[in-house]
A and B are shown apart, each in its own frame.
Chain A
Amino acid sequence: MLNRGRNIEKGRVITRRMFILAAAKILLFAGISSRLYNLQISDREKYEILSDKNRIREWKTPPQRGVIVDNFNKVLASNDRVFQLHLILDEINDFDVTMFKIKNLIGLDQFQIKKLYKKKERLKPWDTLVVSDNLTWEQFSKINLYLHELEGAKPVLSTSRFYPYANDLVHIVGYVGDASPKDLQKPEIKENFVPGLKVGKYGIENSLEKILIGNYGIKRYEVNASGKRISQIDYIKERQGNKVNLTIDIEIQKYAQELLKGRAGSICAMDIYTGEVVAMASSPTYDPNKFTHGINEKDWQEIRNNPLKPLINKSIAGLYSPGSTFKPLVALAALEYGILDPNKTIRCKGHKHPYELYGVKYHCWKKEGHGYMKLRNAIKQSCDIYFYEMARLLGVDKLSIIAKRYGLGTNVLGDLYNDEKNGLVPNTKWKRRALEQSWYLGETVINGIGQGYIQTTPLQLCLMTAQIANGGYKIKPHIIKDDTINYKDVINKIKLDQSNFPLHERNYLDDINVEYYQRMYHKKSNINFVLDAMFGSTNEQYGTSYRSRYDDPKYQFAGKTGTSQVRRITDLDRELDLDTDQIEYKKRDHALYVAFAPYKDPRYALSVIIEHGGSGSKAAAPLASKLIKRIIDRHKLREQINNGNTSLA
């Protein structure tokens, strides 16, 4: 019985203990359930995001750059097909072996190999290493031939920037290259950057990056734990950058570059009504295509060390004394202010009896002297003595008002080019502020012939000429097609206005701000006088550019030569009176020429500068003459395009 009672007791203990355990089990299972609830219901979103992060990986695809076209829709900067070699890193077992094979196939040197190894270190294991972004066809076909032996190698057909007119446009269009850390700080690049994307380095490529760069695409892949792509989930297509339409006529630009070949200098041409820059050549030049895939050291040194400075866009960043090309404007200023009667006669007596002011002698360029001169003749034959006297009477401050109004001393194209120079139109205020000296009358005298402190860019001279040639109206120079300008309206407005009567609501002789397409002159007759004198300078005997004239009224043009000294002319030089060829290059004068054409119904203005070219009439005017013919021949075509007839393109 005792045994039995004990047994019953034992059974009870076991059952009781079991229930205690069961209760514990229920508690623990409840714990598991609540944990499941936490993970799967409360925190579901968090883990869903983590799961997607695990399985979805994005690859950005580079956008194509917007194309740049000229006025006639000819492509100036395109996206050309290039052959590239990519290495998919996660498909490679032995990187060294693969590199060795590739090195032998396409002939990489030790330096390039080192660079690739460095590049690889910065990449993630599933990234793509671009071994070469520009293979030749031979290299590319060799790679394809041995592809089965190259693990992870991927021959890729891609696009890269190509400039079909290479040297002819580099100063305008610029070039692209790999983004530097500084480039990556620009918001438009930062937002759209994809590794390997080329960005604008110079010129329009650089300043219009926002328009040209486009938007990258995104390819979303599902990947497994080792990073291998399983399937493509999503592809947001990249958007090509927008087109940029220039006002340049590539035919004229090409011709201008050709004319400048072998010399240092610039040619600018502009529509005198619309302000469209038709050509803006700078010489010497270089090939922008060399920069796209990184320029090699030898080419770079060649460009950098060229004494003629190809890297400088001389049209907007070259500063020159305007020399005699400034004279029409000096004459205009004197007439506008009523300083002198154009019939006033001054005698130029040659080097033996120079102009004298407070004991300082000022010589005319012509050794024998011009004799008795009236204003028209003084412009036509470019007599310095007449202008010394006129400038003295006018004063530098009045002259500077007119010079600035007609486009000198400020940059022409706004902030399109960050290397564009302002130039300098001096006045007494400027000198006091900048040099802390007072103005000397002698400085006014030489300022009258475009020497001294005055500094202009070729494009400014072109603009000055254009704004005189269009009858004295302010225009808006531009190089990017501006859809907001209705060219027909602008031309009609200026052509119909040309008022002879002074407008009394504003005093044109004050330093006023003139709106675009508004008159800048005081008296119409003064403008006409200057234009007529410029006609004489080119088309009449004894005119300085008489030899470059056209008799055909279709091409007939008017202009003004200029020869700007790069150093002071000493008495010794005058005695020697050497020919240009006999002088050391660096010491030769700059040759300048400004002109507008056709004379009867002017439409284009241009400026030519040949650095150290000698005299304007010999070195610069003949080039202008040739270019003018070309521009006028193409005028009809241009007119049709600008009036909306795009079928010609």
Chain B
Amino acid sequence: MLRERIQASNYSFLDKLKSIDYLLILLIIAIGSISVFAIYSTEGGKFSFYTKNHIIRLSIFFSLFLLLSFVRVSTWYKNAYLFYIIGLVLLITVLFFGISASGATRWINLYFLNLQPSELMKIAVIICFARYYHRIQSSDIQSYKFLIQPIILLIIPCYLVIQQPDLGTSILIAGSGIAIIWLAGLNIKYFVYSGLLLLVSLPFAISILKPYQKSRILTFFNPDRDPLGAGYQIIQSKIAIGSGGFFGKGYLKGTQSYLEFLPEKHTDFIFTLFSEEFGFLGSIILLFLYILLIYRIINVGLVSRSFFAKLYCFGFATAIFLYVFVNIAMVLGMLPIVGAPLPIMSYGGSSLLSIMLGLSIVMSCKIYNQEQISVY
């Protein structure tokens, strides 16, 4: 064990550079560039506030990503619980000192950035669970004693996020956590049972939802229920995407967006704008880029030796998948509208920060993929 540690520390810088996943970096740059163009288009082709901010954030967070990639994976491992605790503390801070916008209290004012701790929590849960299951023996995984802990760890942040209220992020946090529990090998029957339980309790769950959340879900099933109110976003989004056709309306020519029919076009509905302007072809290419990204992350997990790295990479890949899927399915009218940004593409500092942070851990797993991590 000691030998392995030394071995790891003996990585030369050249070795480290060699083992960087350049395709992953290329993918990040590609999606990042697309996002700049898309946000430029949301401003009607003017180089203005959003575009400027997005470029600045992209470059800062991308640099941060490169920098943090060289942090040893064991360091991430050691500090995993700390991240979780920091996330939790921030969430509680939001509860008391958070700033509000459009009826929700989700942000902490850090002066240079309005931090959204729930976004960071998405990553914190994954890294925390990866550590937790790293050390648990496969024979212990099925025992209630070891199952109850992660469930509590998951319920606390989810509950806090729901209180903000932010149903979307809460579901995504829960989804990523559950994904890791699944990966760790918990018996399928638990998933089946809890799935059934969820289905049965759904009517009760809906009854305790906030009125706006309820109306969102109702409009999901019938957008024409209130075409100028709750159904407006989804109707307009579908019109924008559908009218894009195969080749799209052309860059900067998306009428739905520049005539302001599209709401939230630089955040949650960025895919709609992209799809309107670049059509089916562009959308499929973008989707493919995300699939490649997910594939590369999974690949890092496959070549990593430690369970921590594997669990983290697979978990993070699943989280990315969930974000992409929930966002696109939402703008396509396949899921109710819940606030869920599209990774990298959407304008928003916290979301971008958490994704970049998550990716740097993936990269560190790649660079130090031979590193063994002791259980204790």
Q: Which A residues contact B (CB, under 8 angstroms)? A: 6-7, 9-11, 13-15, 17-18, 21-22, 25, 28-29, 31-33, 35-37, 39-41, 43-44, 46-48, 50-51, 54-55, 222-226, 230
Contact = CB atoms under 8 A, between A and B. Distances in A.
20 contacts: A6-B137, A14-B314, A17-B183, A18-B298, A18-B310, A21-B183, A25-B318, A25-B321, A29-B325, A32-B332, A32-B334, A35-B332, A40-B242, A40-B246, A40-B280, A47-B238, A47-B241, A48-B243, A51-B243, A54-B239
Given A11-B310, A14-B184, A224 B287 contact: no
B267 interface: no
A18 B280 contact: no
A37 B287 CA distance: 13
A63 to B, nearest CB: 30
B138 interface: yes
A36 B284 contact: yes
A36 B239 contact: no
B329 A32 contact: yes
B127 to A, nearest CB: 16
Interface in B273-296: 275, 279-280, 283-284, 287, 291, 294
A513 B185 CA distance: 108
A48 B245 contact: yes
B17 to A, nearest CB: 28
Nearest to A32: B328
B296 to A, nearest CB: 13
Contact of B287 (A29, A46, A54): A29
B353 interface: no
B157 interface: no
Interface stretch (B58-66, B73-81, B252-260): B252-260
Contacts of B284: 33, 36
A177 B280 CA distance: 55
B242 A15 contact: no
**Which 10 A-B pairs rank lowest in CB-CB distance, beginning with the nearest?**
A47-B242, A51-B243, A13-B185, A40-B280, A225-B260, A224-B259, A10-B138, A39-B242, A47-B243, A18-B314
A32 B245 contact: no
Given A6-B137, A32-B328, A14 B291 contact: no
A13 B279 CA distance: 40
Given A29-B287, A29-B291, A54-B261, A40 B244 contact: yes
B242 A43 contact: yes
Contacts of B236: 54
B182 interface: yes
Contact of B261 (A15, A48, A55): A55
A9 B332 contact: no
Nearest to B245: A44
A331 to B, nearest CB: 82
B307 interface: yes
Given A6-B138, A21-B179, A47-B241, A41 B255 contact: no
Residue among B137, B185, B242 with max Cβ neighbours from chain A (10 Å): B242
Contacts of B343: none
Nearest to B290: A29
A7 B294 CA distance: 25
Interface of B: 137-139, 179, 182-185, 236, 238-246, 255-256, 259-261, 275, 279-280, 283-284, 287, 291, 294, 298, 301-302, 307, 310-311, 314, 318, 321, 325, 328-329, 332, 334
Contacts of A223: 259
B289 to A, nearest CB: 12
Residue among A22, A41, A51 with max Cβ neighbours from chain B (10 Å): A51
Given A10-B185, A46-B242, A35 B334 contact: yes
Contacts of A35: 329, 332, 334
Nearest to A40: B280
A412 B31 CA distance: 84
Given A44-B243, A47-B243, 14 more contacts: A14-B184, A21-B179, A25-B294, A32-B325, A32-B328, A36-B280, A39-B242, A41-B245, A41-B246, A43-B242, A44-B246, A48-B242, A51-B255, A54-B255
Contacts of B311: 14
B139 to A, nearest CB: 7
A36 B248 CA distance: 12
Contacts of A15: 302, 310
A577 B348 CA distance: 109
Contacts of B244: 40
Residue among B244, B307, B311 with max Cβ neighbours from chain A (10 Å): B244
A50 to B, nearest CB: 5
A226 B260 contact: yes
Given A15-B302, A28-B325, A50 B242 contact: yes
Given A21-B182, A40-B246, A14 B307 contact: yes
A54 B259 contact: yes
Nearest to A10: B138
B246 to A, nearest CB: 6
Contact of A37 (B243, B280, B307): B280
A222 B318 CA distance: 43
B260 A224 contact: yes
B145 to A, nearest CB: 18
B183 A14 contact: yes
B328 A225 contact: no
A41 B242 CA distance: 8
Given A33-B287, A55-B255, A40 B241 contact: yes
Contacts of B283: 36, 40
B182 A17 contact: yes
B272 to A, nearest CB: 11
B257 to A, nearest CB: 10
A6 to B, nearest CB: 6
B205 to A, nearest CB: 23
Given A40-B246, A47-B238, A222 B185 contact: no
B310 A14 contact: yes
A230 B185 CA distance: 58
